[in-house]
């Protein structure tokens, strides 16, 4: 279940306006995707959300693809997350989606059920898109009703990123790898006593944080966050216990205060994150954010699994985002060819790095590994070490799960900012969540 800051950070969204850039003159005149012919070749449109770093990497790969496929041209369209989906929804209503669309997991079934995505099984069967050595969990997350509609751009895991330098300066040992929720609270309580007053041990994640911490909590207690028919699988007691845990940390001054979190929600840029600004020693985040945070601070960052608890593992490897092809594309073969190039070409892989997550292809991971920065290599190693310890998701989140995340965020803020009781906030959230899934 993704909150807004969760989803944006999962996709490395940075604050930039909507941009559509024809990379070559031959691309001019194409609007709204759907493919077309240009100067005897084929032009398609690829759209994604994300920041300037992602845009630069993706455009370099597009140029490389065009260099190796002289008759194929690609128009790039990218923006921050909110304008991206606003534009996408408008284009979908008009029947003019871009040929290649970047989507998050919850959006795949939503767009598929509206008939807007192409079944990619034809291209995996004929070898145009090779998913033979893909992580099965990531591959399954792109499937709806047994058919493949989305190809993972990279995987990540819910994790905790921590500031090694800050902890060492405080004279504390680094956290052990096997903390429970209770022992994690004990550890940060000790850290609180040694940190300056301007910093807090943990960036408040009672709203789910930036790495589906609430989803991990729920899956430690329930098979999944949602039932197979798209209903919530957690109980009022689960939610009350979650909010009570964070309320206890808040009362002990162990988490960032409500006004800091509110500012963070308004400004989701990575450089505004408390862990980057030295305001928090720990933050719950998707694993692919290690590198994005590390390049913004001189302090050394580390990574660990979320605390254990409940009856089973709650963390999982998720496809951080996908590429899908519009069902209305007039050049789906070119779009499929580009997806294959994006996912497997050695030069493209080195350009892309792990900015979108760790590649789902085992061969791609092997190609990429020698060229990675130390913090990116740590991210790959983190997934490698823990993929067998976590528990794969067995179903996609329902299409309105983002609204559930938003309801969780509102309830969390009502406790932190308006002093609403845990019981009242939990009850309000349950009602809002059920209502969101009915719409």
Residue 243: closest CA among 373, 420, 418: 420
6 near 405, Cβ under 8 Å? yes
With 50 as the cut, is the pLDDT of residue 2 above it?
no
Phi, psi of 190 (to 5 degrees): -65, -40
pLDDT at 110 over 90: no
Which position has the higher pLDDT, 41 or 326?
326
Q: Which residue has the higher pLDDT, 256 or 110?
A: 256
Residue whose structure tokens are 């020693």: 281
Task: Judge whether residue 24 has pLDDT over 50.
Answer: no
- Angle between helix axes 422-438 and 236-251 (nearest 10 degrees) is 140
The span from the CA of 149 to the CA of 114, in Å, is 12
Q: What are phi and psi of 274, to 5 degrees?
A: -55, -35
- What is the model's pLDDT at position 37? 55
How many Å apart are CA 123 and CA 129, to the nearest integer? 5
DSSP code, position 173 = P
User: pTM of the full predicted structure?
Assistant: 0.78
Q: Which is nearest to 338 in space by CA: 123, 135, 187, 125?
A: 123
In the block, tokens 């004929």 appear at 126
CA dist list (Å): 246 to 205, 221, 345, 407, 413: 8, 17, 45, 17, 12
| Partners of 318 in the β-ladder | 156
Predicted confidence at residue 20, as pLDDT, reads 42
The pLDDT value recorded for residue 394 is 73
**Per-residue confidence (pLDDT) for residue 343, from 0 to 100:** 97
Mean pLDDT calculated for residue range 323-330: 96
Task: In whole angstroms, give the CA distance from residue 229 to residue 143.
Answer: 16
pLDDT tens profile 364-406: 999 998 989 999 999 989 988 898 899 988 777 787 888 899 9
pLDDT at position 40 is 67
CB of 412 within 8 A of CB of 207?
Answer: yes
Q: Cα separation of 378 and 406, whole Å?
A: 31
Report, in this order, helix, strand and coil percent for the chain, each rounded to 5: 45, 20, 40
pLDDT top residue among 14 and 342: 342
pLDDT 10s digits, 330-373: 999 999 999 999 999 999 999 999 988 899 998 999 999 898 99
CA 185 from chain center: how many Å?
Answer: 26
How far apart (Å, rounded) are the C-alpha atoms in residues 432 and 44? Answer: 40
Residues 48-97 pLDDT 10s? 998 888 999 999 999 999 999 999 999 999 988 878 988 998 998 888 89
Asked whether the predicted pLDDT for residue 319 surpasses 50, the reply is yes
Across 117-135, average pLDDT: 96
Q: In the predicted model, what is the mean pLDDT of the chain?
A: 88
The closest of 430, 426, 406, 435 to 208, measured between CA atoms, is 406
- Over range 249-275, report the average pLDDT: 86
How many DSSP H helices and E strands does the chain contain? 18, 13
Phi and psi angles of residue 181, each rounded to the nearest 5 degrees, phi first? -60, -40
Q: How many CB atoms lie within 10 A of CB 230?
A: 16
**Residue 135: predicted pLDDT:** 86
pLDDT tens-digit map of 186-235 = 999 999 999 999 999 999 999 988 789 999 999 999 999 999 888 999 99
For residue 10, name the pLDDT band (cuts at 50, 70, 90): very low
pLDDT at 307: 97
Quote the distance between the C-alpha of residue 154 and its chain's center. 10
Confidence of residue 38 (pLDDT cuts 50, 70, 90): low
């Amino acid at each position: 279940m993704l909150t807004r800051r969760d989803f944006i950070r999962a996709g490395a969204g940075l604050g930039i306006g909507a941009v559509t850039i024809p990379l070559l003159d031959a691309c001019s005149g194409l609007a709204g995707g759907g493919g077309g012919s240009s100067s005897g070749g084929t032009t398609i449109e690829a759209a994604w959300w994300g920041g300037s770093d992602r845009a630069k990497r993706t455009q370099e790969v597009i140029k490389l693809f065009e260099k190796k496929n002289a008759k194929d041209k690609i128009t790039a369209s990218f923006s921050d997350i909110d304008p991206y989906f606003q534009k996408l929804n408008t284009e979908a209503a008009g029947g003019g989606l871009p040929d290649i669309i970047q989507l998050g997991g919850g959006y795949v079934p939503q767009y598929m059920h509206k008939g807007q995505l192409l079944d990619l099984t034809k291209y995996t069967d004929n070898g145009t898109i090779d998913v033979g050595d893909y992580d099965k969990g990531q591959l399954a997350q792109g499937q709806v009703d047994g058919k493949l509609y989305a190809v993972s751009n990279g995987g990540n895991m819910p994790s905790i990123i921590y500031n090694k330098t800050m902890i060492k300066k405080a004279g504390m040992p680094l956290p052990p790898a096997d903390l429970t929720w209770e022992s994690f609270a004990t550890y940060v309580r000790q850290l609180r006593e040694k940190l300056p007053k301007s910093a807090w041990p943990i960036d408040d994640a009672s709203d789910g944080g930036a790495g589906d911490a609430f989803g991990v909590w729920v899956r430690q207690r329930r098979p999944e966050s949602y039932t197979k028919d798209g209903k919530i699988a957690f109980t009022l007691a689960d939610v009350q216990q979650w909010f009570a845990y964070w309320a206890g940390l808040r009362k002990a001054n162990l988490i960032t205060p409500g006004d800091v979190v509110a500012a963070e929600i308004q400004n989701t840029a990575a450089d505004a994150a408390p862990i980057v600004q030295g305001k928090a020693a720990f933050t719950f985040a998707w694993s692919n954010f290690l590198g994005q945070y590390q390049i913004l601070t001189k302090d050394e960052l580390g990574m660990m699994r979320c605390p254990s608890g409940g009856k089973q593992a709650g963390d999982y490897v998720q496809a951080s985002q996908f590429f899908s092809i519009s069902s209305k594309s007039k050049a789906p073969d070119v779009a499929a060819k580009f997806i294959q190039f994006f996912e497997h070409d050695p030069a493209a892989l080195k350009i892309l790095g792990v900015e979108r997550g760790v590649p789902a292809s085992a061969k791609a991971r092997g190609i990429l590994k020698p060229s990675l920065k130390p913090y990116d290599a740590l991210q790959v190693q983190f997934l490698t070490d823990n993929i067998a310890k976590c528990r794969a998701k067995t179903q996609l989140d329902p299409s309105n799960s983002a609204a559930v995340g938003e309801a969780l965020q509102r309830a969390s803020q009502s406790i932190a900012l308006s002093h609403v009781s845990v019981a009242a906030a939990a009850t309000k959230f349950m009602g809002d969540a059920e209502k969101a899934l009915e719409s």
